[in-house]
Structure 1
């Protein structure tokens, strides 16, 4: 791939293969589940390892300040922002210091990949409504990436956790974010990684500043929203697929988190 200069922001997610990304002359390893953020006016290129190919998912977007305290992603044809970007100071995304962390290793954290794939799929529909939806999905993805970055930072700087404990914590997190009708209980996840449920809760609180229950609930609600947007399923079926006891339990939790019932969310999604 030839070296080039890009004038908008770019997320690049490594789907498969191994290689390197060269950013302003400095090489960084690019392996499966690596996520890179390229800022405007930054020279970069990708290079696959010998005898291998590398598959990348790229999302270009323009991150434009609209007010002193608010930032919004704006979708426009690729050639429009080029000239004005020449005169605009590159603006990093909140919570991601590229000088100390040029990429995120998101192995075992598939929701970010799925979210970026949803942005690309929505945008490819090429309608004004789809582009608005893609923008909203991208904004939500940026928030999720920021949260992943912060949790990874907590894991790396927390002194009481050794390498083995970090591996167990990452495994527990991956299990809790695996959504389905047979998703594991907190006690089962703790037993799977060799901890008690109380110890798992304690480590989550210290390392991630959250609880296993909250993490699992957030993963279930994200998946439920995906099903409501893209599948024509009854609320009761969605509730069971996402690991909730029944439709009433799902409705109660969903409204607590979103301020809307699932049916109200569905109605808005159909209008979009």
Structure 2
């Protein structure tokens, strides 16, 4: 049908992946293999597991994605030997791409979608470092008329919604981030080994303040992702006195007007 995704037989995918011999990675829901279509386009083929018994090749579940040349984000931010390091403009673009992706899932789809496992391993980068949100294995579909969302605790510790990871948060960056934010020392978290990051430190810190707003334990005080996008794009301002108690009061008048005209954050910000 016109506009529908292409469908491939198992034999076709076996051929394009050279019998699934070039493994790109593995996650909780299966392994991913690199392949080349007859047209020459590179693809990533994910073999899904854990979805019931498989009695024949025709019952295998395989997803075909566009191959993302720069891999997953974690390979760039956790690999100290990665050269060249990501500059601030690329990092900012990746952050904005992720925010736009989540805003689309939350507010623009016919049926709202909660991903529930947003982490660097699930952010894929193409040859131009355009970021794509991937791996919807834990995602939850939400009816458009639902105003509050409650789910069982699931995801990756350290990446869960704040109210789901209190006991282990100090083992992760979020614990350090909160302490620095409360002490007004976010500048300490800017990479001192990168001249590019230091030269853009003021903008980096402003983005951290938006992050602090998103990490509040009280879900009703978190912003919707459409507001986050506006803040990142600079269409509304972030002021310097944002903190745990008065983040909402810290927004400019223009930001408050924008906030009032959008979906309330509690509709999709929690609880998880």
Higher strand proportion, which one? 1
Higher helix proportion, which one? 1
TM norm structure 1: 0.31
TM norm structure 2: 0.31
Q: Bigger relative contact order, structure 1 or 2, given CA contacts below 8 A and separation 6+?
A: 2
